[in-house]
Structure 1
Amino acid sequence: MKYFPLLLWFLAGTLIAFSACKKDDCLSVWYQDADGDGLGNPNVSETACAQPSGYVANADDPDDTLDSSDCPPQTIQIGPSSLTLVPVDLSERGACNQSLAFTPNVSLSESGSSRVITSNSIPAHLVGLFGQGPGSLNPNAIAEVQKTYTVPLSPSLAGTPTELLNPQQGPAYAFGVLLNGVLLDPVAAEPWPHEGFFATNVNWEWNLDAMIINLGLDCNNAHVQPNGKYHYHGTPALYLEGLNLAGDEMVLVGYAADGFPIYYKYGYTDPDDAGSGVEALTSSYELKTGERPGDGTSAPCGEYNGVYTNDWQYTPGLGDLDACNGRTGVTPEYPGGIYYYVITDTYPFLSRCLKGSPSNDFRI
């Protein structure tokens, strides 16, 4: 009988716990917040009616340890939305279920030594919901934006690449334009500490990557600028779907700001042999390992997780492509060989630098 008091104590505690749930109450799942940063551990949970001490309702902190509060995931405000800086699932984008009332208008021509692309910036494919209505991916409605892009017919490599992001001033150039006339503009304008461009400690070396965080992109990895211009930050899914790619040929999809051609994903196994077969080309970028060197004030701290462009590094030889996500070789349009860029399904998706001299028509 010496265990009887212990049994009574256990049964009484159980009865009290369950009596806290009234008949009409709903049980909820709560997640442990060991570091007290307001974010829960998805791997440690309890089910209860009332919130247990040390637990929260979200499961946004897989690194929930007692010492991880030194640099908790940051929450920032972008427009009306509060955003926790954790990587998104690249397969989860806004639905593309909107047809545009505008008629796409694009033309490509040659004038002397230049290629001229004119467009009203309207795609022919479905897009996400943009504008001021409920459920909108961002508050900017798509509008016709007339643009003319002029690039050289015979581009040449420059001595040093031009980065699309100026580390002192912010985005400098868009990458290029698709054959449908819609801009390829991968660089976001979201510098640390995410308090506006004129913050006293703004740091463009740590700029959020639009493809890795939730910036309201639709299924085409695109959204809308304040002037109404629809533009792609990554792989233009429905445009490519409309090309009916079989993966057995190189397909030209656009031109970069320096005039060099852009292909999607596929290239010759031997870059100098058009008869060598076609394969999916791979990027040479990977996540850095370890922790960011920042102090959380002048620059971000925490583990490299991809939300900043500076979380990624180019590793020569890791994949098929160079630091600008391109290489030199023969193509169907250039059988004598040329430098060309490749849109990949992994980081950096669209090149973040230009090997030639960019046209001012692409200046941000």
Structure 2
Amino acid sequence: MNYSKLFLSVLFGVTILISSCDDEEDVCVETTWYQDADSDGLGNADVSQTACVQPSGYVADNSDTDDSSAASTGSTPLAAFDEFNEDAVTISFDGDDITIESNGLPNHTSPYWSTSNSLYIEPFVASTSEMSPGTISSGSYTVTVPATPVKASSSSATGLGAIGIAVTGAPIFNDEEGPNIALSANVASGFDYAGAHMGPTGYHYHLESTDVEANTTLSYDDEKLIGILQDGFLLYGRKCNSTDDHPTNLDASGGHISATQHSSDEEFYHYHIINETYIGSYILLFGVDLQGTPNTIM
């Protein structure tokens, strides 16, 4: 037997194995995650596991002293409503209820405006061949939500149509383009820089806006307010004002309890755009379950 060849073969195999392990270690960085049994974004320090990817029902936070019940969700700060486009949105208060009415006309440029409109621009993000037909026109969206929304005992899936109203006045849609039809890269390529396009019910957003010079209004990887969802909880950009970074204690719906730029250090439950890509480089505004009780947007 040629022992030198055998030795070299074994040595070569061990080298490949070590190299493979090194590659895996470079990819996998384990983090300690803490159980969030009450889905309030706060984890139980006594129940944890380590994993490279965040396990369902676990968060990076470990400050929950009572994981059997959610912390108070707090009241929606009224200062947040100052962000809404006053030319499109009317906010009214009646006791414990807040009613948001909008004509759906955004206050930013888009190739989906009529060419005669001063806000019309030539498409430069949207693929002209994939743009949906129609131009932006006035609509009607109304939703009444509690001033102090609370998390429901179970989450609710969003449906087709408007699931919220953005600060610009245009409605927010989820990650579906039709009944059980997820957004595709082809459809998304027809969206303008605002992450929106036309549909049977009018102009609406699906995605986070693009970082382009024309975007002077919308949130892109920052802490700006996006709008309010149909369960009454506010939706913010990917970063949180409380840390000036991407929050690490979000629940399955991208929500947590913290202060924001609108709450004068008072903490309350709100959503963030989840910092994950979808169908390539796109980022969804909201493609998960609502944690509160949904109210109909008429």
Q: TM-score, normalised by structure 2?
A: 0.55
1:259-298 equivalent positions in 2, closer than 5 A: 259-268=232-241, 274=242, 277-281=243-247
Question: In structure 2, what residue type is equivalent to 1:159?
Answer: S
Q: Which residue of 1 aligns with 2:229?
A: 256
Q: Which residue of 2 aligns with 1:209?
A: 183
Q: Which residue of 2 aligns with 1:355?
A: 291
- Cα distance, 1:344 vs. partner? 4.1
2:94 to 100, 111, 114: 111
How far apart are the structure 2 equivalents of 1:344 and 1:278?
Answer: 15
SS of equivalent to 1:278: coil
SS of equivalent to 1:151: strand
- Cα distance, 1:125 vs. partner? 0.7
The answer on whether the counterparts of 1:110 and 1:116 sit within 8 Å (CA) in structure 2 is: yes
1:261-340 equivalent positions in 2, closer than 5 A: 261-268=234-241, 274=242, 277-281=243-247, 320-334=249-263, 335-340=265-270
The answer on whether the counterparts of 2:163 and 2:172 sit within 8 Å (CA) in structure 1 is: yes
Asked if residue 342 in structure 1 is aligned to residue 278 in structure 2, the reply is no
- Cα distance 1:239–1:144, how it changes in 2: closer, same or farther (>3 A)? farther
Aligned-residue RMSD, C-alpha: 3.2
- Cα distance 1:240–1:163, how it changes in 2: closer, same or farther (>3 A)? farther
- Cα distance 1:138–1:244, how it changes in 2: closer, same or farther (>3 A)? closer
Asked if residue 146 in structure 1 is aligned to residue 168 in structure 2, the reply is no
1:9-48 equivalent positions in 2, closer than 5 A: none
- Cα distance 1:219–1:153, how it changes in 2: closer, same or farther (>3 A)? same
Asked if residue 236 in structure 1 is aligned to residue 195 in structure 2, the reply is no
- Cα distance, 1:107 vs. partner? 2.1
How far apart are the structure 1 equivalents of 2:137 and 2:219?
Answer: 29
- Cα distance, 1:144 vs. partner? 0.7
- Cα distance 1:342–1:139, how it changes in 2: closer, same or farther (>3 A)? same
Q: Which residue of 2 aligns with 1:21?
A: none
How far apart are the structure 2 equivalents of 1:183 and 1:239?
Answer: 23
Q: Percent identity?
A: 25
Q: Which residue of 1 aligns with 2:153?
A: 159
How far apart are the structure 2 equivalents of 1:250 and 1:139?
Answer: 32
SS of equivalent to 1:350: coil
Greater RCO, 1 or 2 (C-alpha within 8 Å, sep 6+): 2
The answer on whether the counterparts of 1:153 and 1:259 sit within 8 Å (CA) in structure 2 is: yes
Larger radius of gyration: 1
- Cα distance, 1:147 vs. partner? 2.0
- Cα distance 1:353–1:119, how it changes in 2: closer, same or farther (>3 A)? same
The answer on whether the counterparts of 1:266 and 1:279 sit within 8 Å (CA) in structure 2 is: yes
How far apart are the structure 2 equivalents of 1:340 and 1:159?
Answer: 17
How far apart are the structure 1 equivalents of 2:220 and 2:172?
Answer: 23
Query: After superposition, what is the alpha-carbon deviation per residue over 1:124-145, rounded to whole angstroms, capped at 9, x for unaligned?
Result: 11112478xx857112232110
- Cα distance, 1:244 vs. partner? 8.3
Question: In structure 2, what residue type is equivalent to 1:357?
Answer: T
Bigger helix share: 2
SS of equivalent to 2:165: strand
Question: In structure 2, what residue type is equivalent to 1:148?
Answer: T
- Cα distance, 1:346 vs. partner? 3.0
Q: Which residue of 1 aligns with 2:166?
A: 178
Q: Which residue of 1 aligns with 2:177?
A: 189
SS of equivalent to 2:297: helix
1:117-136 equivalent positions in 2, closer than 5 A: 117-129=100-112
| TM superposition outliers: structure 1 runs of 4+ over 4 Å | 237-240, 243-247
- Cα distance, 1:356 vs. partner? 0.3
- Cα distance, 1:174 vs. partner? 3.3
SS of equivalent to 1:360: coil
How far apart are the structure 1 equivalents of 2:129 and 2:138?
Answer: 22
The answer on whether the counterparts of 2:112 and 2:197 sit within 8 Å (CA) in structure 1 is: no
- Cα distance 1:330–1:148, how it changes in 2: closer, same or farther (>3 A)? same
1:223 to 197, 201, 208: 197
Query: After superposition, what is the alpha-carbon deviation per residue over 1:110-167, rounded to whole angstroms, capped at 9, x for unaligned?
Result: 2221222221101111112478xx85711223211022222111100001110114xx
- Cα distance 1:218–1:241, how it changes in 2: closer, same or farther (>3 A)? closer
Gaps of 5+ in 2: 1-85, 115-127, 278-282
